[in-house]
Structure 1
Amino acid sequence: MTRALIIGAPRSGSGKTSVTIGLLRAFARRGLRVRGVKSGPDYIDPGFHHAATGRAGLNLDSWAMEPDLVAQLLGQAAEDADLLLIESAMGLFDGIAGGEGRTGAAADLARLLGIPVLLVLDVSGQSQTAAAVAIGFRHYDPDVRMAGVVLNRAGSERHVRLSTAAIEDTGMSVVGAVLRNSELSLPERHLGLVQASEHPAIQGHIDRLADVMETSLDLDAILSLTVELPASTGSTQAHLPPPGQRIAIASDAAFTFLYPHLGSHWRAVGAELVPFSPLADEAPPADCDVCWIPGGYPELHAERIAAADRFRQGLARFAAEKPVHGECGGYMVLGERLEDAEGVSHAMTGLLSHATSFARRKMNLGYRQATLLADGPMGVAGQVIRGHEFHYASVSDPGTDEAFATIADGTGQPIGRSGGRRGQVTGTFFHAIARVTQ
């Protein structure tokens, strides 16, 4: 039977990712089959979870995914694992007004699945006050159980003693403390953390994190906090179906953002994912029946993409006969031009007529609900799909194409038309996570 635990914190930046990655590797060293899960629409952390365990990561999102799909994905993840560690996004209770149990917060998963929480508290700049924070978490929602506390970024052993005594006086258990150490932080880049595949010495870094967790935390106590997962009773109905039987998928340093659950489901129902690299000047294989260009960092590689003539010409030939879809970074590459951070404009594929700019930075972040305006690789006209946007690039020229979808935010407030559609080519800044079936 697979056991599970949620790792949460009061806010982003509390150190829960480093604690999670270190614990994943530490438990794997004990011979446990461990898998990491991330709550919310985060591409980066599942890559680190995979690197730490050798098992593919997973996203669970209570807003974008219907409860049946959450249960099905969790059950599937548990099939070859002894332990699932579910890392919260942002603060444990942070979400949107999406309805009961559909806020996107990791707390929803705790309620839905009955999984307790290991609370990571950054105690820098405080000691006994940490107990007040812990008490607040303990009583804020009686259906979300705080099973134990990890003190993070403690300044000294005396600091640890003061904080631990105050918290344990409230009846909560402290399972260890990690002292302040700048070397434990993961590097960052212009859109957030460096991806695991880009880290030059990722395995050594994960081993250092595991060493710290083994010496600083009581791993046996943490295991005792886990609970057995119930048998899965979920459904695959809300999964996004594969866009084709043989899917040519752009895959290299510029195009990496495909949710693990999408690729896994597409393969499970018989589709084949055939990778190709635009940065290596490769075109989508002609024997595929659809091309999918996921998000990533094309703005960092715009000059190479602009010079990749075989890719651009081959993609145009493919699009003349078969569907092509681009998400976020893929959407940028399908346009006429991409302006990089230095303000240099690069010619893209021109399969859609818009232009985008990374020089005019503006964060676009949030859940999105999209209603498709025409049949295409993502579904039929009228289909509603939930997902999100996260990008700093903007549309500098909207072009003349038909819109891909109408979108609303996570609370249902209309935003307007999104993306573009010309012939069999579609694209949007919107990242799809799952369908709406109800």
Structure 2
Amino acid sequence: MTQAQKLPPRALIIGAPRSGSGKTSVTIGLLRAFARRGIRVRGVKSGPDYIDPGFHHAATGLPGLNLDSWAMEPNLMAALLHDAADGNDLLLIESAMGLFDGIDGGDGRTGSAADIARLLGIPVLLVLDVSGQSQTAAAVAVGFHHYDPQVRIAGTVINRAGSERHIRLSRSAIEGAGMSVVGAVMRNSELSLPERHLGLVQASEHGEIQSHIDRLADVMEASLDLDAILALASPVTLRDGSYEAAIAPPGQRIAIASDAAFTFLYPHLGAHWRAAGAELVPFSPLADEGPTLDCDTCWLPGGYPELHAGRLANANRFRNRLRHFAQMKPVHGECGGFMVLGTGLEDADGVRHTMTGLLSHSTSFAKRKMNLGYRQARLLADSPLGAAGEVLRGHEFHYASVIDPGRDEPVAEIADGTGQPLGLSGGRRGHVSGTFFHAIARTTQ
């Protein structure tokens, strides 16, 4: 296909039975392979994930995007999809976890990629890791085909095959059951991406990311029928949407910490804030930079401060400028940003590092406990997140623990994704607020 042969916007979900099936590698390789053909392709991630959209961006040059059926109201998802499709030929939507995995959040609000398939009528390309099986893969494919008639499984990728015979056995069984197979990828450890405690190492930290993506694309071009995959994608139904449930910009000029320690800002938040007329002004605490006073809000996103605690403790200019800024203007920290706003942070070895002290709590990465799940937050006071009484939806994902809760007023009352109360969250003092909660969208109902 040439650049002159433009398609109407089309979309395809790339799903799998479980995490670790190879969806990300297949998605990234396909994104680059289609981009090589002159197709304007954009990656989308279902669910709360900061890291995969960075790889999608690296593969295509276009910003990543998250769609989350639990955290985002349907009208907001429709608006985001509409804007993502504008000017593009193809959207590849990578599922989180297994295709149907989510929570008991109500009809169409489970957080699964299957919700997106039903709501927007997008077909699914199923990635099957056939390690340790062959013909049995057909039973899995057939199960997916019949499990939910509103979710259309349009084709199958055989992944991590061990030999040509392995491919032949798996393919013949799947096709014999009436399912389409668009290709097979051989088992290859070199296709895997490096991981750490919150998932994959970020694209921005992967020194050879472009060459790795090119290798993935080479494999997908050699192993999969790209024309057949393109034919599986369906035209995007661009239904009317609304940004009413989007989180408003916290200021006109927003100072945003941005470096290897502070990376977790959802793409849809930054894009919406810019579209609403706000200016995002990045600075690097690791480079000992602080927010400038020509900004009217400072936002410290999540990230990996626990891996850079020593450098942050020695960033005196950053700390002093942030304290000066906080005397007059709002400062908010999410997750890693919340940790840095406290008095101290213990690294993995139990060494305590002095943080900014703008809030009175302390955290530890040495005393690790995984905190993971959707969260609903009712704000107890006005803050950069919104007005008192507003309810936001988002999530927590961290291993750090609070070892001293401090003496600050809480930011929000927190419940899990099913509405079960979890208590108070975060801290606020003066112009400063912070919480482990990552905000995704507002609720309007």
TM-score range, shorter chain: over 0.9
User: What is the DSSP-based 3-state SS (H/G/I as helix, E as strand, rest coil) of the residue aligned with 1:296?
Assistant: coil
The counterpart of 1:96, out of the listed 103, 111, 115, is 103
Find the counterpart in structure 2 of residue 142 from structure 1. Answer: 149
368-377 or 188-197: which moved more? 188-197
- What amino acid does structure 1 have at the position aligned with 2:64? G
Q: CA deviation at 1:231?
A: 2.2
Aligned to 2:4: none
Equivalent position to 2:429, from 413, 422, 430: 422
Q: Deviations over 1:259-316 (max 9, x none)?
A: 0000000000100000011111111011100000000000111111111111111101
Amino acid in the other structure paired with 2:375 = R
- 2:273 and 2:109 mapped to 1: Cα distance? 25
| Aligned equivalents of 2:141, 2:277: Cα separation in 1 | 47
Q: Which residue of 1 aligns with 2:187?
A: 180
Distance in 2 separating the partners of 1:104 and 1:311? 38
Is residue 2:255 matched to residue 1:248?
yes
Alpha-carbon distance in structure 2 between the residues aligned to 1:250 and 1:166: 52
Superposition deviation, residue 190 in structure 1: 2.7
Distance 2:37 2:429 in 1: 54
Residue number in structure 2 paired with 1:155: 162
Hey, what's the Cα distance between the residues in 1 that align with 2:367 and 2:177? Answer: 50
Q: How far has the Cα of 1:232 moved from its partner?
A: 3.5
Aligned to 1:24: 31
Look up the match of 1:212.
219
- In the alignment, the residues of structure 2 paired with residue 50 and residue 81 of structure 1 have an alpha-carbon distance, to the nearest angstrom, of 14
Q: Which runs of 5+ in 2 are unaligned?
A: 1-7
Alpha-carbon distance, 1:170 to partner: 1.0
Q: Is residue 298 from structure 1 mapped to residue 310 from structure 2 by the alignment?
A: no
Deviation, 1:189, is 1.8
The SS at the match of 1:164 is: helix
310, 313, 330: which one aligns with 2:317: 310
Q: What corresponds to 1:117 in structure 2?
A: 124
Q: 2:270 aligned with 1:268, yes or no?
A: no
Q: How far, CA to CA, are the matches of 2:133 and 2:392 in structure 1?
A: 44
Contact residue 74 and residue 232 of structure 1 kept, 8 A: no
- Where has structure 1 moved over 2 Å in runs of 4 or more? none
Give the TM-score normalised by the residue count of structure 2. Answer: 0.98
Does the aligned pair in 2 maintain the 1:292–1:324 contact within 8 Å? yes
Question: Are 1:39 and 2:46 matched, yes or no?
Answer: yes
Matches within 5 A, 1:352-391: 352-391=359-398
Cα root mean square deviation, aligned? 0.5
**What is the CA–CA distance in structure 1 between the aligned matches of 2:205 and 2:196, rounded to whole Å?**
11
TM-fit CA distance, 1:191: 2.1
Deviation sequence 1:9-28 (CA, Å, 0-9, x none): 00000001000000000000
What residue in structure 2 maps to residue 194 of structure 1? 201
Match of 2:232 among 193, 204, 225: 225
Q: Secondary structure at the match of 2:102?
A: coil
Deviation of 1:192 (Å): 1.4
Query: CA separation in 1, counterparts of 2:193 and 2:289?
Result: 32
Q: How far apart are residue 122 of structure 1 and its match?
A: 0.2
- CA positional deviation for 1:166: 0.5
CA distance in 1, matches of 2:160, 2:236: 31
- 8 Å contact from structure 1 (residues 59, 261) kept in 2: yes
Q: 1:58 aligns with which of 51, 65, 75?
A: 65
Identity of aligned residues (%): 80
Q: Is the 8 A contact 2:342 2:363 kept in 1?
A: yes
Q: What stretches of structure 1 of length at least 5 have no aligned partner?
A: none
Please say which of residues 183-192 and 378-387 is displaced more in the overlay: 183-192
Report if aligned partners of 2:255, 2:280 keep a CA contact under 8 Å in 1.
Answer: yes
Q: How many residues align?
A: 438
State the secondary structure of the residue aligned to 1:11.
coil
Residue 331, structure 1, aligned to residue 342, structure 2: no
Task: State the distance in 2 between where 1:273 and 1:95 align.
Answer: 33
CA contact (8 A) 2:81 2:238 kept: no
